[in-house]
Amino acid sequence: MKGTKGQDNTTADHTRLITDSYRSANRLMHEVGFGKGGYQWAPAAIGLIMMTRASRALSIKSVLDYGCGQGTLQWVLIDLLQQHGLVGQVTVDGYDPASPNELLHKQPEPADLVTCTDVLEHIEPHLLGNVLNHIASLANLYVIFSVAMLKSKQILPNGQNAHLIQENGSWWRNKLRQYFTNHDILEIPINKPSEHVVFVLAVKQDHDKPGKMSPIVW
């Protein structure tokens, strides 16, 4: 990893997830509506929760929305859990070190399902490995990633495109393989495959131990 000389005078350690200047830029972007789109992925999360319960796989009892923005995924997911009678059986939390809400900066607890939707493309490239390591350390069983691959329509205060990383699906799959060595990676077909790529990661089955999950069929 390159040093951070000239980059906010911060330390280039393996725990840094965001630079101070980029956090400030994100505060401004949140004020104009950044981070409201997470709700779109609540149906996928509840679908995975219900599927694991029905298949008797390792069931999901906790969800962490990593890079939760303004928390819309959490709100909708909690409503869906209520509809399925699962309130009190599945917890939902959020974490976002880029948020102006400092309560969301607190180190989160690991969760059975980590959702990270439309987040990775916004990460500063030199810190992407740190972020993926962090997510891997928090994911007990499953991860849902949605990543935009094209330019954003939004521009940061410094003139940069809001999507700091613009790579294709193969690049992202190979990147995830470097950090999620204990998970199987499944790419999910979507309506606009040239714009987004969606991965569901599931902890590898241990055939020698009864009670471990069966392979996921999405």
Q: Which residues lie closer than 8 Å to 153 by C-beta, 6 or more apart? A: none
The parts of the chain modelled with pLDDT lower than 70 are 1-12, 32-35, 56-57, 206-218
Contact in structure between 198 and 190 (CB atoms under 8 Å): yes
pLDDT score for 33: 65
What are the tokens at 133? 């390591």
Radius of gyration for the alpha carbons in the chain, expressed in angstroms and rounded: 17
In this structure, what are the phi and psi dihedrals at residue 194, rounded to the nearest 5 degrees? -85, -15
In this structure, what are the phi and psi dihedrals at residue 85, rounded to the nearest 5 degrees? 70, 30
Contact in structure between 149 and 197 (CB atoms under 8 Å): yes
**Tokens 């940069």 sit at which residue?**
160
pLDDT score for 89: 93
d(CA 177, CA 217): 20
Could you state, in order of their start, the residue ranges of all structural domains in the chain?
A: 20-106+119-203
pLDDT score for 54: 85
pLDDT score for 192: 80
Q: Judging by DSSP bridges, how do beta strands 183-188 and 91-95 pair with one another?
A: unpaired
| Secondary structure string (H, E, C) spanning the chain | CCCCCCCCCCCCCCCCCCCHHHHHHHHHHHHCCCCCHHHHHHHHHHHHHHHHHHCCCCCCCEEEEECCCCCHHHHHHHHHHHHCCCECCEEEEEECCCCCCHHHHCCCCCEEEEEEECCHHHCCHHHHHHHHHHHHHHEEEEEEEEEECCCCCCECCCCCECCCCCCCHHHHHHHHHHHCCCEEEEEECCCCCCCEEEEEEEECCCCCCCCCCCCCCC
Encoded amino acid at 99, one letter:
S
**Which of the four CATH numbers 1.20.1510, 3.30.40, 3.40.50, 3.20.20 does domain 20-106+119-203 have?**
3.40.50
pLDDT score for 56: 66
pTM here is 0.86
Q: Judging by DSSP bridges, how do beta strands 196-203 and 139-148 pair with one another?
A: antiparallel
Share the mean pLDDT of the chain.
Answer: 86
